[in-house]
């Protein structure tokens, strides 16, 4: 994409024009995250047109499903649920009553962002392009003279504007508007949206800047959005405001509220924080903002704090699927090791926020552990939230659903629903999937780094020339990844390939010949002058793994989770014989052999489930009494052949019980 000159001076018809920052040179094209020229980043993301996913691979199929099913579904529901109607009323074009949550505008902004990424990398369709054009024009008409844009406070509570930062979500909605505008500008889909966003952003700078009101938002998100808006425009006040919001957090400005200041991450200054707390989505969005601002300002205290919080979240408070948040009451992290599988809240938006935060940490540090965690969340916690048809969604994502589950309401998670009254998750999924190709690889002066393996291609400018690498693979079902350098430069450069943390053994071949390539810091680094046509084959061994939790995770003590490659597996009632309850099943580690207790098999008889895990089990007979004196002894019943399926595909064949953590049969 060529550089464009964009101006931010348009205003709603009849409105008092507010002069915003001067026109600027768009800093090239980039994906959702683009560290600036002076950033202290270790790696640099590719532009959207430098990475492509083939629909023959799993990630490519997800992205195509998103374009063909999820995105149109989101657009339709924005109309049906009243989100678009709210903006029409705010523009004075309707007298309809406000509909939905007070932060309903954010779902419009997220869908716009998704549409921008999709239209920027494909021809898209006329309906999607019309949605963008019509909605951007509507936002401009709904925007107030001073740049303020929020349909709820315009229509329902104009006197409460900026008065209730703990719950208003005004800055949260603004942040999603800014991110949509960044996507629309970087892809060239709608530069006009940037004018709307900048008028609002300049109002924020005027109100909350260095000499302005000391306030933070109860729902972090504005920090990372302002940082990205700065990266796009080069307008320093946006970055300064993002940093100011971080500096002000931890002073109790939001009050105690229903759940206390830790719920808002407002209990301790961010640079001093040592534990993740409160609402999981808010914490992870805040973490992303800390990394963005830290990278752009060289604030190593912020970056150190972000890594410290990551370690606490991942090593003591995240689920084996990569999900975050164990409590329904406040959608929050629990105590260390408080990870009940059946009561897991594990909100879809938290999993998406984890992908985004880990991507930023990967760019900042180059450390493979962040790519590992991004992959774990993507293939399990995020993927499980979307049905095979792309039009039904989980809000919360438990790791166990019991027989006779009687939960009711939208968050019961017994089945995916087509939409929610709080519909934050579906459009969030749409924007991640539409930009998914942007997470495949990075570049640096000395070469190209591949972080996610998928059928497709990547290209970049390295070592003074343009290089392209094509990937062919059936990952995550198979561990073989074939990479072909289809164009290159005569100068040597390094191709870095991630060896996932779950992989204990691998082989590398170049043009058919074996190569000794030890992984350092999670990556194999192959340096040479790559001739076009050179092929590298990386074979990652994918045995079935039996995963056990830390002993302090009381809820799953005595249980095992099955995993293969990046995928976590689960048992479903649908694969058990009639009359056998999932709760009575035990994993029998003595069969078929202690050395090989589970096998991975390719299946063609199960729709959309290419690989299952077969493992031996037993049916336990523990009696009818709820409680008994002394140690209860289970009597094993008949042996049972168990079939485990990928967790992300559960609930697609039929509704019914499911579990990730399988109790192990007692041995005498």
Are 535 and 594 part of one and the same domain? no
**pLDDT for the residue numbered 229:** 98
Are 497 and 555 part of one and the same domain? no
Catalytic residues: 331, 424
76 is a domain residue: yes
Q: What is the CATH number of the domain that holds 213?
A: 1.50.10
Residue 417 dihedral angles phi and psi, to the nearest 5°: -115, 155
- pLDDT tier at 414 (50, 70, 90 boundaries)? confident
Q: What is the CATH number of the domain that holds 533?
A: 2.60.40
426 is a domain residue: yes
536 DSSP β-pair partners: 483, 510
Are 396 and 260 part of one and the same domain? yes
Q: What are 325-359's pLDDT values in tens digits? A: 999 999 999 999 999 999 999 999 999 999 999 99
Residue 9, pLDDT > 60, answer: no
Of 578, 574, 587, the closest CA to residue 650 belongs to: 574
Residue 31 dihedral angles phi and psi, to the nearest 5°: -85, -155
CA distance 266 to 276: 12
Residue 517, pLDDT > 80, answer: yes
18 is a domain residue: no
Alpha-carbon 33 to chain mean position: 13
**pLDDT for the residue numbered 666:** 77
CB distance 275 to 312 below 8 Å? yes
Residue 633, pLDDT > 80, answer: no
Of 265, 239, 67, the closest CA to residue 166 belongs to: 265
Are 116 and 103 part of one and the same domain? yes
**pLDDT for the residue numbered 668:** 56
**pLDDT for the residue numbered 591:** 62
Mean pLDDT, rounded, for 84-105: 97
Of 251, 130, 108, 254, the closest CA to residue 181 belongs to: 108
DSSP class of residue 417 equals B
What secondary structure does DSSP assign to 607-633, as a single string? TT--EEEEEEEEEEE--S-S--SS---
Residue 433, pLDDT > 60, answer: yes
- pLDDT tier at 453 (50, 70, 90 boundaries)? very high
**pLDDT for the residue numbered 490:** 84
Residue 408, pLDDT > 80, answer: no
Long-range contacts of 58-63 (CB under 8 A, 24+ apart): 58/454, 58/475, 58/476, 58/477, 59/436, 59/437, 59/452, 59/454, 59/455, 59/456, 60/454, 60/455, 60/456, 62/383, 62/386, 62/433, 62/436, 63/433, 63/434, 63/436, 63/437
CA distance 431 to 435: 6
**pLDDT for the residue numbered 628:** 83
Of 538, 523, 532, 528, the closest CA to residue 466 belongs to: 532
Domain count, the chain: 3
Domain end position, chosen among 525, 540, 555 = 540
454 is a domain residue: yes
- CB burial of residue 525 (10 Å; 0-12, 13-18, 19+): middle
CB neighbours of 115 closer than 8 A, spacing ≥ 6? 71, 75, 124, 128, 131, 132, 189, 434
Of 385, 418, 392, 437, the closest CA to residue 64 belongs to: 437
**pLDDT for the residue numbered 590:** 75
Q: What percent of the chain has pLDDT over 90?
A: 83
DSSP class of residue 578 equals T
Mean pLDDT, rounded, for 138-143: 98
Domain end position, chosen among 540, 571, 600 = 540
Are 365 and 495 part of one and the same domain? no
**pLDDT for the residue numbered 121:** 85
Are 497 and 616 part of one and the same domain? no
479 is a domain residue: yes
pTM of the model: 0.94
513 is a domain residue: yes
Are 523 and 643 part of one and the same domain? no
CA distance 557 to 664: 10
- CB burial of residue 647 (10 Å; 0-12, 13-18, 19+): buried
Domain end position, chosen among 540, 569, 594 = 540
Domain interval for residue 549: 544-663
396 is a domain residue: yes
- pLDDT tier at 5 (50, 70, 90 boundaries)? very low
Are 458 and 548 part of one and the same domain? no
CB distance 603 to 644 below 8 Å? no
Are 459 and 319 part of one and the same domain? no
- pLDDT tier at 667 (50, 70, 90 boundaries)? low
CA distance 367 to 193: 35
Q: What is the CA radius of gyration of the chain?
A: 25
Lowest mean pLDDT among 304-308, 346-350, 455-459, 616-620: 616-620
CA distance 97 to 639: 61
- pLDDT tier at 436 (50, 70, 90 boundaries)? very high
CB neighbours of 570 closer than 8 A, spacing ≥ 6? 399, 644, 645, 646, 647, 650, 658, 659, 660
CB neighbours of 661 closer than 8 A, spacing ≥ 6? 320, 341, 399, 400, 549, 556, 559, 560, 561
Are 235 and 119 part of one and the same domain? yes
Residue 240, pLDDT > 60, answer: yes
Are 531 and 549 part of one and the same domain? no
Lowest mean pLDDT among 92-101, 224-233, 596-605, 622-631: 596-605
Burial 610-623 (b: 16+ CB within 10 A, else e): bbbbebbbbbbeee
Angle at 437 between CA 366 and CA 8, to 5 degrees: 90
CA distance 539 to 537: 6
Mean pLDDT of the chain: 92
Are 256 and 193 part of one and the same domain? yes
17 is a domain residue: no
**pLDDT for the residue numbered 407:** 67
């Amino acid at each position: 994409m060529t550089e464009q000159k964009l101006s931010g001076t348009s205003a709603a018809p009849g409105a008092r024009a507010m002069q915003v920052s001067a026109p600027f040179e768009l800093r090239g094209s980039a994906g959702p995250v683009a560290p600036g020229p002076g950033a202290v980043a270790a790696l640099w993301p590719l532009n959207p047109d430098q990475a492509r996913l083939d629909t023959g691979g799993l990630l490519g199929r997800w992205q195509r499903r998103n374009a063909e099913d999820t995105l149109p579904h989101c657009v339709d529901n924005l109309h049906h649920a009243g989100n678009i109607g709210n903006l029409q009323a705010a523009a004075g074009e309707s007298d309809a009553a406000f509909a939905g949550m007070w932060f309903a505008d954010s779902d419009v902004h997220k869908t716009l962002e998704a549409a921008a990424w999709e239209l920027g990398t494909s021809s898209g369709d006329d309906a999607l392009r019309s949605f963008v054009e019509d909605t951007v024009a509507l936002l401009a008409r709904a925007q107030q003279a001073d740049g303020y844009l929020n349909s709820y406070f315009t229509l329902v509570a104009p006197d409460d504007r900026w008065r209730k930062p703990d719950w208003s979500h005004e800055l949260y909605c603004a942040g999603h508007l800014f991110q949509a505008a960044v996507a629309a500008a970087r892809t060239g889909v709608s530069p006009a949206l940037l004018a709307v966003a900048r008028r609002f952003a300049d109002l924020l700078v005027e109100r909350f800047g260095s000499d302005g009101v000391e306030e933070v938002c109860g729902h972090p998100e504005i920090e990372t959005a302002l940082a990205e808006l700065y990266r796009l425009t080069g307008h320093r006040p946006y970055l300064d405001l993002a940093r100011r919001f971080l500096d002000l957090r931890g002073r109790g400005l939001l009050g105690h509220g229903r759940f206390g200041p830790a719920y808002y991450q407002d209990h301790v200054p961010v640079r001093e924080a040592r534990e993740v707390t409160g609402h999981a989505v808010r914490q992870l969005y805040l973490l992303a903002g800390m990394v963005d601002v830290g990278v752009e300002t060289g604030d190593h205290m912020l970056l150190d704090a972000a890594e410290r919080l990551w370690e606490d979240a991942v090593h003591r408070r995240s689920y084996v699927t990569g999900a975050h948040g164990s409590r329904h009451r406040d959608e929050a992290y629990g105590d260390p090791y408080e990870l009940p599988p059946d009561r897991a809240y594990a909100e879809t938006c938290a999993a998406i926020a984890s992908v985004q935060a880990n991507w930023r940490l990967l760019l900042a540090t180059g450390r493979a552990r962040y790519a590992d965690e991004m992959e774990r969340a993507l293939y399990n916690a995020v993927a499980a939230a979307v049905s095979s048809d792309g039009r039904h969604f989980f809000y919360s994502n438990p790791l166990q659903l019991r027989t006779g589950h009687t939960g009711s309401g939208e968050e019961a998670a017994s089945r995916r629903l087509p939409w929610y009254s709080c519909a934050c998750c579906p459009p969030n999924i749409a924007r991640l999937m539409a930009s998914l190709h942007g997470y495949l690889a990075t570049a640096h002066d000395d070469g190209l780094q591949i972080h996610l393996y998928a059928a497709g291609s990547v290209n970049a400018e390295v070592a003074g020339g343009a290089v392209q690498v094509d990937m062919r693979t059936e990952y995550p079902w198979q561990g073989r990844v074939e990479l072909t350098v289809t164009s290159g430069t005569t100068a040597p450069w390094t191709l870095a390939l991630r060896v996932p943390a779950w992989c204990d053994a691998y082989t590398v071949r170049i043009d058919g010949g074996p190569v000794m390539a030890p992984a350092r810091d999670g990556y194999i680094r192959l340096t040479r002058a790559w001739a076009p046509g050179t092929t590298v084959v990386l074979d990652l061994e994918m045995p079935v793994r039996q995963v056990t939790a830390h002993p302090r995770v009381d809820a799953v003590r005595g249980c095992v989770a099955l995993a293969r490659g990046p995928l976590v597996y689960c048992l479903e009632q649908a694969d058990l014989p009639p009359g056998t309850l999932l709760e009575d099943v035990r994993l029998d580690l003595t069969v078929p052999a202690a050395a090989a207790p589970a096998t991975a098999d390719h299946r063609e008889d199960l729709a959309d489930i290419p690989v299952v895990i077969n493992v031996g089990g037993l049916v336990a007979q523990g009696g009818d009494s709820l409680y008994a004196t002394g140690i209860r002894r289970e009597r094993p019943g008949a042996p049972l052949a168990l079939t485990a399926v990928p967790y992300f595909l559960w609930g697609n064949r039929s509704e019914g019980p499911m579990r990730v953590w399988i109790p192990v049969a007692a041995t005498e």
